[in-house]
Amino acid sequence: MAGYSRTDDSPFGRWWRNVDRTTLVCTFILIGFGYILMLAASPAVAVRIGASRNMFIFKQVMFLSVAGLIVTGVSMLSRRTVLRLSLIGGVLMLGATMLTLVHGIEIKGARRWIALPLMSLQPSEFLKPCFAVVTGWLLTERRISRYFPGMLIAFGLYGLILLLLKSQPDIGMLTVITAVFLVQLFVDGLNLIFVGFGFACMVAAGIAAFFIFPHVRSRVERFMHPNVGDHYQIDTALRAFGNGGLMGRGPGEGRVKDLLPDAHADFVFAVAGEEYGLVICLLIICIFAAIVVRTLLRLIREDDPFVVIATTGLLTGFGLQAFVNMASTLHLIPTKGMTLPFISYGGSSAMSVALAIGMVLALTRQQPGGLRSGNGFITTLRQWRSA
């Protein structure tokens, strides 16, 4: 932008010079796809449930508009402020997640949501990015402050979240947070034997979930045995991709949105495949990959371990969520009700992913100072009091 030259010393000018503009643009392209696909997928779903034809559109326009503001606003924060936001937000969302077990809305046998006037809030969605940043700080501080039990606190926090998500239950979110934590431990330098043991425990937990939770067992069995059980949703989604072909049937010409109850949410990628074709689906995949790869390449030049560990955790959660949604729709893995970031309908999902990407942009932004090796726990607290 010509208006923001290197001589512009305004806060916005400094932000624009230092922020990763490629990731920022890719993020807003995904938000644009979210608008387009909600126009395509949601009216039929709204009519089917007896609501106003434009109900989901109006709500998602509001959610995505707020998400865009969150991405921009959070990306302007300093690294220390991002950490402070994560600590406060993590405590609040942890308490809200506990509240879901008592006063949560029960949907399909799970209590994950709290009823609000304009939307249902899923606190665990916001807990995920806060956990990644806080864990990155804990793992970094334990190397700087000699008597600071960062690793012990990190494992304790993870254990508490594990118990809460198992009680809801939300196995998908628990899997994502577990993957985030294991990747962060690996980046922190934990011995590969222990990381491998962690993944082995993750596999063992998945096997246990197969026997404990009937809905998990049903999904795995339907994936492993195509001729057993109800495959209506996944078969319909796969036919949609086939009908779309290379260039798609055209905007508004798809039929999958009239057949699937979650066409605007979990199966929105199938709507994209039918109406816009393989080319647009590949473009969406490439945009998700570009955000992850671009940020990882920036981390190679980063010398602040807090930024590296925290950002890697945020990227793991973001990339894994996108992969699970698209792979489920394509029947590459057992079906899992997980939204496609910025594209599927959902206020909690859109705003929590926006928070995560805003944190990524803030942490990787070129900026003086911040949380660097040598600050130490006591020094950090003093800096906070003086800020």
Residue 195 lies in a domain: yes
Q: Which domain holds residue 183?
A: 18-364
Interval 116-145 mean pLDDT: 88
> Which of the residue ranges 45-49, 93-97, 191-195 would you say has the lowest mean pLDDT?
191-195
Closest CA to 219 of 333, 322, 112: 333
CA distance 351 to 93: 14
Backbone angles phi, psi at 309, to 5 degrees: -70, -45
Residue 78 lies in a domain: yes
Dig out the tokens for 47 from the structure. Answer: 């009519």
Residue 79 lies in a domain: yes
Residue 201 lies in a domain: yes
Residue 296 lies in a domain: yes
Query: Is residue 357 a contact partner of residue 291, using CB atoms and an 8 Å limit?
Result: yes
User: Residue 122 pLDDT more than 80?
Assistant: yes
Ranked by mean pLDDT, which of 11-20, 99-108, 255-264, 276-285 comes out on top?
A: 276-285
Closest CA to 338 of 177, 173, 222: 173
The percent of residues above 70 in pLDDT, for the chain, comes to 86
- Kindly compute the dihedral angle of the four CA atoms of residues 277, 281, 287, 293, in this order, to the nearest 10 degrees: -140
Query: Is residue 338 a contact partner of residue 324, using CB atoms and an 8 Å limit?
Result: yes
Backbone angles phi, psi at 105, to 5 degrees: -80, 130
Of residues 205 and 328, more confidently modeled: 328
Residue 130 lies in a domain: yes
Collect all residues with Cβ–Cβ distance below 8 Å to 128 and sequence separation of at least 6.
Answer: 173, 176, 177, 180, 317, 352, 356
User: Residue 177 pLDDT more than 60?
Assistant: yes
- Domain count of the chain? 1
pTM greater than 0.75 (yes/no): yes
